[in-house]
């Protein structure tokens, strides 16, 4: 049974750095092909992919946000941490983490956390 859960602040001030933790169970982030991604969704808008970390510690970032993002993993704790610097009110969104499955021509997010709403306001 794969589960993921996001945790972190619900309110951050403009210019602050956001740190979110994804704690997961039911899989290992050291297994070949596995990854954990972060996706956010502003209220009433479509999901936006942010970042992905792979089993081999390779990483991918949204080109438009790359300069503000960092992603790390702690395999022993089954956690992935996302940091986003210089937060702005437009970054207000629900932030999700998700399990990435890969095999051949199949590459998708099959398990998602419940999401955590982060509001950016002074």
Partner 1 sequence: DIQMTQSPSSLSASVGDRVTITCRASQSIIIYLNWYQQKPGKAPKLLIYAASSLQSGVPSRFSGSGSGTDFTLTISSLQPEDFATYYCQQSYSTSRSFGQGTQVDIK
Q: Determine the size of the site formed for partner 1 (CB under 8 A).
A: 24
CA dist., res. 71 & res. 21, Å (int): 10
Look at residue 45 and give its three-state secondary structure. Answer: coil
DSSP state of 67: G
Contact 97, 7 (CB under 8 A): no
Give 22's strand partners. 6, 80
Please, which of residues 92-121 interact with partner 1 by CB under 8 A? 96, 98, 105-110, 112-115
Cβ-based nearer residue to partner 1, 16 or 59: 59
Instruction: Choose the stretch contacting partner 1; rule: CB under 8 A; options: 24-32, 44-52, 68-76, 79-87.
Output: 44-52
Is residue 60 close enough to count as binding partner 1 by CB under 8 A? yes
Cβ-based nearer residue to partner 1, 29 or 98: 98
Structure tokens at 95: 């932030």
Q: Which residue has the tokens 């510690």?
A: 57
**Smallest distance from the beta carbon of 14 to partner 1, in angstroms?**
26
Residues found near partner 1 in the complex (CB under 8 A): 37, 39, 46-49, 52, 60-64, 96, 98, 105-110, 112-115
């Amino acid at each position: 049974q794969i589960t993921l859960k996001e945790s972190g602040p619900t309110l951050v001030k403009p210019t602050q750095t956001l740190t979110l933790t994804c704690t997961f169970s039911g899989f290992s982030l050291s297994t070949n092909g596995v990854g954990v991604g972060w996706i956010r969704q502003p209220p009433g808008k479509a999901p936006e992919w942010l970042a992905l970390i792979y089993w081999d510690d390779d990483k991918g970032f949204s080109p438009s946000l790359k300069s503000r993002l960092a992603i790390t993993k702690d395999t022993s704790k089954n956690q992935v941490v996302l940091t986003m610097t210089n937060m702005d009110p437009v970054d207000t969104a629900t932030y999700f983490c998700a399990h990435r499955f890969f095999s051949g021509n199949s590459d998708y997010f099959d398990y998602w956390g419940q999401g955590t709403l982060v509001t950016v306001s002074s």
